[in-house]
Chains A and B, each alone.
Chain A
């Protein structure tokens, strides 16, 4: 068993520093380490055992153990193993050795637990605030258990402006965002531009943090969270929905009925279809190629309709509960889905042909926004971005879940790492998704779609789940808890890691290539920020302050 071999290797080197290790399920490994050895163990796992960094989690475990918890998650993709190195720290403020020096991709995650839980990463090279706005007072950490979910500190100053670094000499600052036609959601890139060349950038995101994780830990219950989880993202919501359910199921050692797993697989692939078609459209729009934009949206429309027929909704399918799914497939639905797929396949083949022969598009995308294997590993980039850079990872094959181990499909890999390769990867993945859905429809067994769960879920168990979203690996980490809700739930959307590679990808490129480079990772800021935008219409001309807007939005219940 590979997990045991890996554990042996680590124990050989760090035996005394590892008081406990768990192998609760195949493909899962939990190592409890002493805080003093944490950095060396992570370095060993990342550099010597060649694991992929996934995410770091900080949690307030004081109500149970009186300590804070830090976990660093790694994936051994070719060994089909997800692992977590956990440690407990004391003190006020609690301090833990930063691993971002040896694992650069941990940069954001460590800043995040510093902001939200108040665990100081010691030795972090760039410990600037990441999530909390600059007006939020020091010393208030929203994810601590003694902070209520709706708490706003009295000295919170929501008018305070962000502080930014100074641009390098000879560069002009071009603000890209918070609102820009190619950004669907608020995020702020301060580009340092010299002539038409981008020399660097600073990113400020997390502009409207919704605190979904806090809600889940303090207000919602196990079966309500999937509905909140899929509202993390407007495009790949079902992914979060499934990933959360699977993480809890894994923690509690529950297995949903086979038919439910097939339904999950089909809906995840339906979602990938609509997401990839949407992306091809948006990328074309960014390149000024509006005809392909319109055509791919037209082809996407039947997918939205069939999704509505299955789940009652074009998006946000409200699919999973713990131990099952809520929607079933009738024979009529199956037949209709098959028809939609046939039509899409024909149309998409024509579109794919046209795209692959288009010299004009290639001219704009070849050699642009390159993410090579070194950068992909350093920033822990995932999904189509990694696969387009020749890194052969795909959670559907590497960490099989739902019914993916029952179907055959190809993992599309392209060698060049540029925007063009990412286009090719996504265009080809559409055909693989169609293939997967067809196989599922063929093989789907009869039977129940929901497991009956009578007992309370056991508290204190840890679950990990990686789901291959259209944008890459969505990773959920759950610690089960009391009162019918998890103690800690951490969501790592693919954009969280991919976005960290962007500064290196746009450096020393033309400004005109910035938008397509950013677009090519298919950024999903809402996943990353876990935020929500509010559309507000007003007929009168007046300027609202943020406070007034918030009041107005809260007063309006009908829109």
Chain B
């Protein structure tokens, strides 16, 4: 075997493993800090692991219109986010650097959202359908934001390679153009929506449409969706850090890894604080908000093309 292949395979599997192990931990952190803000004791840090184990151990009930499709959607949601893990630098470099590029990254991220749509559509209950109509509206306005951010980076580096784009490319190697700053702000204020947290957990809003697309799911299938949700938080944090907060990745091993995971921790902390201090927006309010951001993002893209 060539060392390249070993690097890719080993690194990819390592990334998947790291993601699977850390995602529930960060969820635990999120829950614990939320509890502290709310003057509660909160669950132990390891509770999300137990939750997942418990759900995985339950009977696989079939409730909904097309059980086969539902099972597929559940697997797809976790699988797609784990596939994204191959493209994200979590231990210093993106393992699939040789074969994949940022276009693949965008496709896989969209696939995660599509799996939610599929889940709701296959379940087919009224609330699920309302949930996916909300999810669809969010997706249409939200996904382009992330794509534009990546494109801005790609334009600045004149490359679609993962390792080049995901290392602070938006700042054009220390030139700090306007477009980079604009995209930083845009993604900062839409980040809650990318990871489906309050105030933008509209598609699942428990008190309105009872978890929307996930309403019909329980047991192992629910566990997969939950796992995907937790992983999404870590993956998007890693992508955000790759694009916008690259400092410290040049440090010698293991200091660079420590800095990286510290940054992830800070992002999770930020998400928690925002989620704990906001009420949920309504779908039309959220769409208007995203549409405004999208306009700003396109301006940034144009600026980037002209080198600003």
Within 8 A of A (CB), among B194-208: 198-199, 201-202, 205-208
What 0/1 pattern do residues 234 to 256 of B give for CB contact below 8 A with A? Answer: 00000000000000000000000
Q: Are A364 and B207 in contact (CB under 8 A)?
A: no
Bound complex: CA A243 to CA B151 (Å)? 69
**Cα distance A360–B192 in the bound complex, in angstroms:** 15
Report the Cα distance A286→B127, complex, angstroms: 17
Task: Give chain B residues whose Cβ lies under 8 Å from the Cβ of A285.
Answer: 207
B interface residues, Cβ below 8 angstroms from A:
34, 37-40, 126-127, 130, 133-134, 198-199, 201-202, 205-210, 276-285
Of B127, B199, B209, the residue contacting A360 (CB under 8 A) is B199
Per the 8 Å Cβ criterion, residues 360-376 of A in contact with B are 360-361, 363-364
Residues A510 and B283 in contact, CB atoms below 8 Å apart: yes
The answer to whether the Cβ of A37 comes within 8 Å of any Cβ in the partner chain is: no
Given A364-B279, A510-B282, A515-B208, CB of A294 within 8 Å of CB of B39: yes
User: Contacts A295-B39, A360-B199: A181 and B279 contacting too (C-beta < 8 A)?
Assistant: no
Question: B281 contacts which of A290, A295, A364 (Cβ < 8 Å)?
Answer: A364
- Contact of B39 with A175 in the complex, beta carbons under 8 Å: no
Q: In the complex, are the beta carbons of A360 and B130 less than 8 A apart?
A: no
Query: Contacts of A290 on B, CB cut-off 8 Å?
Result: 34, 38, 198, 276
**B40 cross-chain contacts in A, Cβ below 8 A:** 294
A288, B130: Cβ atoms closer than 8 Å: no
| Given A174-B130, A511-B130, A363:B281 Cβ within 8 A | yes
**B283 contacts A288, CB within 8 Å?**
no
- A295-B283 in contact given A181-B210, A360-B278 (Cβ < 8 Å): no
A298 is an interface residue with CB less than 8 A from chain B: yes
Note all chain B residues with C-beta closer than 8 A to A358. Answer: 279
In the complex, 7 of the A-B residue pairs with CB atoms within 8 angstroms, ordered by the A residue number, are A196-B283, A287-B280, A288-B201, A288-B278, A289-B198, A295-B39, A364-B279
Evaluate contact between A196 and B206: CB separation under 8 angstroms. no
**Chain B residue, CB-CB nearest to A289:** B279
Q: How far is the CB of B191 from chain A (nearest CB, A)?
A: 16
Residues of A within 8 A of B39 (CB): 294-295, 298
Question: How many Å lie between the Cα of A511 and that of B134 in the bound state?
Answer: 12
What residues of chain B lie closer than 8 Å to A182, measured between beta carbons? 207-208
Q: What 1/0 flags go to A286-312 for Cβ under 8 Å of B?
A: 111111011100100000000000000
- Decide if B208 touches A512 in the complex (CB within 8 Å): yes
- Let me know if A512 and B279 touch, CB within 8 A: no
Q: Are B210 and A513 in contact (CB under 8 A)?
A: no
Q: How far is the CA of A360 from the CA of B210 in the complex (A)?
A: 22
Contact check, B38 vs A363: say whether CB atoms are below 8 A apart. Answer: no
Whether B282 contacts A181 by the Cβ 8 Å rule is no
Partner of A181, one of B38, B130, B206, B277: B206
Point out the residues of chain B lying under 8 angstroms from A172, CB to CB.
126
Complex alpha-carbon distance, A358 and B130, angstroms: 28
Task: Please name 5 further chain A to chain B contacts, defined as beta carbons within 8 Å, in addition to the given A174-B127, A295-B39, A360-B199, sorted by A numbering.
Answer: A181-B210, A288-B280, A294-B40, A364-B280, A511-B209
CA distance A364 to B202 in the complex (A): 13
Select which of B133, B199, B284 is within 8 A of A288 by beta carbon: B199
Alpha-carbon distance between A288 and B278 when the two chains are bound, in angstroms: 8
Contacts of A195 in B (CB 8 A): 133
Task: Note all chain A residues with C-beta closer than 8 A to B133.
Answer: 195-196
